[in-house]
């Protein structure tokens, strides 16, 4: 398959055949939807996002758990991200934040969308976690999550290494620790208060906050940017996002995410032998072997998506049981807990900003790769108001 696609971020031509294969280095590559779905139902071990290093350090954040401990933790935190909680609890701050940020655009007449989406995503994520979204926190999280790849120059790489540690510990002492102290005195309905109630140590809470920061900030801010880019160039999509039909808007957002997965590749390891059907044969993956799920490829599997899988169809008919975003939010026990929150805040922000009279793209964007999540960054998308 070629790059004849409506995706604005696909890094290379799609590959769906073979649907499952093992390379010369022992890593399994999954590009078929049914294979990915069935494997992710299994009790696999997280193998991305520095999982091995954090396990060695003794941290057991929800992203890195597996088995019963993971299921219990996910069940406990689900209430903070459920559709009902998003609608009844978080929608007020979502709307308030969108109004404030779009107000800034109206006042200044020209703004980098990346900064607006960054602030939108950070304020919402930190509200759910329990952190105070100061400008200092926003800059600290942004610097951590968008750090450049380590330089090949050893001296520069060492500087980057220590700079990264400084940023993480600055986040701990300036943002996480003060919140822990406040929540011990005055618990709230948020993730940090819950973790304190379970006697989690400050460093454990700190790691969890970094994980939620990455999930809520680095992904949603990019998604907001790519959604607006589509809407500004597609009149039909723009009309849908301006409509009063929330179901149609959410369908469109999930379809965009299918073609523009912010996390382009996820990794797991088999905890025990795992057998999956592929191309009419049963394939067994032995324990300890790495599995790479190629999200861009999986999400255009015509056997699951139907005709023209590389094209954007806001009202695409999907088979029963198939997520509209495919693996855009992952699948299985580690499927993104905050998917309803991400869709809701993107929906509110995009709908309201498209209502601004005279809105146009002045320049950009520059779309680059993010090695941390093997996804994309939408930079320098400058909006202006005539």
Q: In the structure encoding, which two tokens stand for residue 203, read together?
A: 């460093």
* Contact between 288 and 27 (Cβ < 8 Å): no
Q: What is the pLDDT of residues 37-54, one digit of tens each?
A: 999 999 888 876 555 555
The 10 Å Cβ neighbour count of residue 293 is 25
Q: What is the DSSP string of 271-318?
A: SS-EEEEETTEEEEEPTT-EEEEEHHHHTT-HHHH-SSTTS--TT---
| The model's pTM | 0.93
The 10 Å Cβ neighbour count of residue 61 is 22
Average confidence (pLDDT) over 358-369:
95
Q: What is the pLDDT of residues 257-277, one digit of tens each?
A: 999 999 999 999 988 999 999
Among 47-56, 94-103, 361-370, name the most confident range: 94-103
Average confidence (pLDDT) over 336-354:
96
Q: Is the pLDDT of residue 70 over 80?
A: no
Average confidence (pLDDT) over 344-363:
97
Residue with tokens 């890195």: 64
Q: Compare 92 and 67 and report the one with higher pLDDT.
A: 92
The 10 Å Cβ neighbour count of residue 145 is 20
Kindly tell me the sign of the dihedral angle through the C-alpha atoms of 71, 76, 82, 86: negative
Q: What is the pLDDT of residues 77-95, one digit of tens each?
A: 888 889 999 999 999 999 9
Average confidence (pLDDT) over 128-137:
92
- What is the pLDDT at residue 65? 65
Q: In the structure encoding, which two tokens stand for residue 170, read together?
A: 């600055």
Cα–Cα distance measured from residue 214 to residue 199, given in angstroms and rounded to the nearest whole number: 23
Q: Does domain 20-129+210-385 have CATH number 3.30.70.20?
A: no
Q: Is the pLDDT of residue 298 over 60?
A: yes
Please report which confidence band the pLDDT of residue 59 belongs to, taking 50, 70 and 90 as the band edges: low
- What is the pLDDT at residue 50? 59
Residue with tokens 């992952």: 330
Residues 330-335: contacts with CB under 8 Å, at least 24 apart: 330/40, 330/263, 330/266, 331/36, 331/37, 331/40, 331/41, 332/37, 332/40, 332/41, 332/42, 332/44, 333/40, 333/43, 333/66, 333/70, 333/71, 333/74, 334/40, 334/46, 334/63, 334/70
Q: What is the pLDDT of residues 213-231, one digit of tens each?
A: 777 788 999 999 999 999 9
Sheet architecture: strand order including 359-363: 110-112, 382-385, 359-363
* Contact between 266 and 258 (Cβ < 8 Å): no
Please report which confidence band the pLDDT of residue 21 belongs to, taking 50, 70 and 90 as the band edges: very high
Helix (H, G, I), strand (E, B) or coil at 237: helix
Best CA proximity match to 4, nearest among 310, 225, 264: 310
- What is the pLDDT at residue 337? 86
- What is the pLDDT at residue 44? 87
Residue with tokens 């255009």: 300
- What is the pLDDT at residue 58? 56
Residue with tokens 């409509």: 243
* Contact between 241 and 350 (Cβ < 8 Å): yes
Q: What is the pLDDT of residues 187-211, one digit of tens each?
A: 999 999 999 999 999 998 998 888 8
Q: In the structure encoding, which two tokens stand for residue 348, read together?
A: 């509110």
Sheet architecture: strand order including 28-30: 20-22, 28-30, 290-294, 265-269, 45-46
Beta pairing partners, 30: 20, 293
Cα–Cα distance measured from residue 43 to residue 74, given in angstroms and rounded to the nearest whole number: 14
Average confidence (pLDDT) over 322-329:
94
Please report which confidence band the pLDDT of residue 371 belongs to, taking 50, 70 and 90 as the band edges: confident
- What is the pLDDT at residue 2? 47
* Contact between 79 and 85 (Cβ < 8 Å): yes
Helix (H, G, I), strand (E, B) or coil at 66: coil
Residue with tokens 């499927």: 335
Percent of all residues in the chain with a pLDDT value above 70, rounded to a whole number: 94
Cα–Cα distance measured from residue 299 to residue 18, given in angstroms and rounded to the nearest whole number: 15
Please report which confidence band the pLDDT of residue 1 belongs to, taking 50, 70 and 90 as the band edges: very low
Cα–Cα distance measured from residue 346 to residue 230, given in angstroms and rounded to the nearest whole number: 13
Looking at every residue in the chain, the average pLDDT score rounds to 90
Beta pairing partners, 283: 276
Q: Is the pLDDT of residue 72 over 70?
A: yes
Q: In the structure encoding, which two tokens stand for residue 102, read together?
A: 């779009």
Domain boundaries of the chain, sorted by first residue: 20-129+210-385
Cα–Cα distance measured from residue 147 to residue 88, given in angstroms and rounded to the nearest whole number: 35
Q: Is the pLDDT of residue 60 over 70?
A: no
């Amino acid at each position: 398959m070629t790059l004849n696609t409506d995706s604005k971020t696909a890094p290379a031509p799609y590959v769906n055949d073979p649907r499952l294969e093992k390379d010369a280095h022992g890593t399994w590559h999954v590009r078929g939807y049914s294979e990915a779905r069935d494997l992710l139902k299994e009790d696999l071990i997280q193998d991305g996002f520095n999982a091995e290093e954090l396990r060695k350090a003794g941290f057991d954040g929800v992203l890195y758990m597996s088995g019963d401990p993971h299921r219990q933790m996910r069940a406990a935190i689900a209430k903070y991200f459920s559709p009902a909680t998003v609608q009844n609890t978080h929608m007020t701050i979502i709307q308030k934040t969108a109004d404030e940020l779009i107000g800034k655009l109206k006042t200044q007449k020209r703004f980098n969308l990346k900064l607006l989406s960054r602030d939108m995503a950070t304020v919402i994520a930190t509200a759910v976690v329990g952190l105070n979204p100061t400008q200092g926190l926003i800059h600290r999280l942004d610097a951590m999550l968008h750090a450049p790849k380590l330089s090949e120059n050893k001296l520069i790489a060492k500087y980057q290494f220590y700079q990264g540690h400084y940023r993480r510990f600055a986040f701990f002492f300036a943002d996480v620790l003060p919140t822990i102290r406040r929540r011990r005195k005055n618990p709230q309905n948020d993730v940090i208060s819950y973790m304190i109630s379970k006697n989690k140590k400050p460093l454990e809470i700190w790691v969890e906050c970094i994980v939620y920061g990455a999930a809520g900030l680095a992904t949603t801010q990019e998604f907001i940017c790519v959604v607006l880019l589509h809407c500004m160039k597609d009149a039909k999509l723009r009309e849908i996002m301006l409509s009063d039909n929330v179901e149609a808007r959410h369908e469109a957002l999930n379809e965009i995410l299918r073609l523009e997965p912010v996390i382009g590749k996820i990794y797991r390891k088999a905890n025990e032998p795992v057998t999956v059907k592929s191309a009419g044969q049963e394939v067994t993956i032995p324990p300890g072997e790495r599995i790479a799920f190629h999200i861009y490829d999986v999400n255009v599997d015509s056997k699951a998506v139907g005709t023209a899988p590389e094209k954007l169809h806001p009202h695409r008919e999907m088979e029963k049981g198939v997520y509209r975003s495919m693996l855009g939010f992952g699948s299985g026990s580690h499927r993104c807990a905050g998917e309803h929150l991400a869709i809701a805040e993107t929906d509110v922000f995009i709908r309201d900003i498209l209502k601004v009279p005279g809105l146009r793209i002045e320049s950009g964007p520059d779309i680059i790769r993010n090695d941390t999540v093997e996804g994309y960054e939408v930079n320098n998308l400058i909006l202006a108001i005539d």
